[in-house]
Amino acid sequence: MNVHSFVTEMRDPVERGRRIGERWAEQIRHTTGLYLDFLPRVGVSPERVRRIGDDSLGALEAWCPELAKEVMAMAAGADLPFWQLASLNARTEILAAMPPTEGECSTSVFSPADGQPPRTLQTWDWHDSLAPEGLLLQLTSRRGLTVKLFTEFGMLGKIGVNSAGLGLHFNILHHESDHDGGGVPVHAVARRLLEEATSVQEAIDLARTATLGASTVLTVFSCHDQAPKAACIELSPAGVAAVPPREDGWLLHTNHFLDPVLSQGERTPDTLTTYDRLAHLEAMAGDMASSDVRARAQAMCGSAGDRAPICMHADMSLPDSERWETLISIGIDTRGGVLEYAAGNPAHLASQGPQRF
């Protein structure tokens, strides 16, 4: 993955969206085209893609008009029909109606009891064919918060941190209540939390207000010593649950529900790697508490190195719809407001060291 960066001080969502769309028009059009070609090949007709995209944009307009305006302005700046960028931002909602597939993402957060900031690291595993490029974006929210995030081109958000000391990791989930009726895009939920929430509790309360069509877990954490200091916010159309850290301060999550109520509607097959990856994180947790992200990455892999379960490698003999790769590994420094990352799996981050944004 080739990772680009962009900084904007524009607070007006229309001006910001248009500027991003114009500046990155080639990448946004390319990413949108990749998804619009991919989705029919995994069983979602173009008509269904457009309908879910339109319905999700409508849900976003009702929940957060500013972000809906930014999507439309970005589409105008990139010279794309609104529905196409709406569908890109609703890709999780579109895929929610399909049977669950492999991936994506393994997250670890250690929240020390001594008031020190959290130590975090996550992988982002996805189809390599859909994300040849990614964007690191810095913006200023209407509340005056500086937000730094990683996302796919044309999408509102994913993984990030804000200047209030709140960080956010992102993993997909699958629940029996997921549907194709549209809902607030989960990527937009992540973005709004980063723009507005100054504490973990604020993030939980805000997430509960979104009407959803798809499931995801947003793991949020703060550098400030206040309760709750961290939580996995498990989102689904059936409800929202906040999973607290273990007594030893660890939050570990892959791609199945941990909340005892929501897990009753789990739709992820036992045959997928999510359970093996979580077991691996649990086995490695005692060694992943270093304040140095490079050491955390090495510990996350353990003795298996880049063959660890949390490191995915694209099998080029398979069609792209069945091919997964760890495209980026990211740790979040909530005190410094910095993303520490490497384009690749944690073993690559450990050997090459992180870049900082």
- Quick one: 179 and 56 in the same domain? no
Phi-psi group of 302: left, alpha or beta (phi > 0 → left; psi -120 to 50 → alpha; rest → beta): left
- Quick one: 221 and 334 in the same domain? yes
User: Alpha-carbon distance 269 to 112, whole Å?
Assistant: 33
Query: Model confidence at 166, in pLDDT bands (50, 70, 90)?
Result: very high
Pairing between strand 133-140 and 2-7? Answer: parallel
Phi-psi group of 191: left, alpha or beta (phi > 0 → left; psi -120 to 50 → alpha; rest → beta): alpha
Query: pLDDT tens digits, residue range 203-243?
Result: 999 999 999 999 999 999 999 988 999 999 999 999 999 99
Residue 1 lies in a domain: no
SS (H, E, C) 148-215: EEEEECCCCCCEEEECCCEEEEEEECCECCCCCCCCCCHHHHHHHHHHHCCCHHHHHHHHCCCCCCCC
Residue 70 lies in a domain: yes
Residue 288 lies in a domain: yes
Query: pLDDT tens digits, residue range 243-301?
Result: 999 999 999 999 999 999 999 999 988 878 999 999 999 999 989 999 999 999 999 99
Residue 198 lies in a domain: yes
Query: How high is the pLDDT of residue 343?
Result: 98
User: Alpha-carbon distance 180 to 190, whole Å?
Assistant: 20
- Quick one: 211 and 174 in the same domain? yes
- Quick one: 246 and 189 in the same domain? yes
Q: Provide the CATH number for the domain around residue 291.
A: 3.60.60.10
- Quick one: 54 and 79 in the same domain? yes
Residue 101 lies in a domain: no
- Quick one: 217 and 315 in the same domain? yes
SS (H, E, C) 198-215: CCHHHHHHHHCCCCCCCC
Please state the rounded mean pLDDT for residues 178-187: 96
- Quick one: 31 and 116 in the same domain? no
Domain endpoint, select from 35, 67, 95: 95
- Quick one: 334 and 201 in the same domain? yes
Domain with 325 in it: 106-356
Q: Which residues pair with 231 in a beta bridge?
A: 220
Residue 114 lies in a domain: yes
Query: Model confidence at 97, in pLDDT bands (50, 70, 90)?
Result: confident
Please state the rounded mean pLDDT for residues 25-43: 96
Please give the radius of gyration of the chain, using alpha carbons only, rounded to the nearest integer: 18
- Quick one: 177 and 324 in the same domain? yes
Domain endpoint, select from 95, 129, 148: 95
User: Alpha-carbon distance 198 to 200, whole Å?
Assistant: 7
- Quick one: 138 and 75 in the same domain? no
Contacting residues for 106 by C-beta, under 8 A, at least 6 apart: 122, 123, 125, 171, 253, 254, 277, 278, 280, 281, 300, 310
Contact 170, 159 (CB under 8 A): yes
Please indicate, yes or no, whether the overall pTM of this predicted structure exceeds 0.85.
yes
Query: How high is the pLDDT of residue 271?
Result: 79
User: Alpha-carbon distance 201 to 219, whole Å?
Assistant: 12
- DSSP single-letter state for residue 44: -
- Quick one: 206 and 281 in the same domain? yes
Per mean pLDDT, which range of 72-86, 103-117, 279-293 is the poorest? 103-117
User: Alpha-carbon distance 36 to 47, whole Å?
Assistant: 11
Peptide bond connecting 228 to the previous residue in cis, omega within 30 degrees of 0: yes
pLDDT at 102 over 70: no
Please state the rounded mean pLDDT for residues 107-135: 95
- Quick one: 61 and 137 in the same domain? no
Residue 203 lies in a domain: yes
Residue 88 lies in a domain: yes
Count of domains in the chain? 2
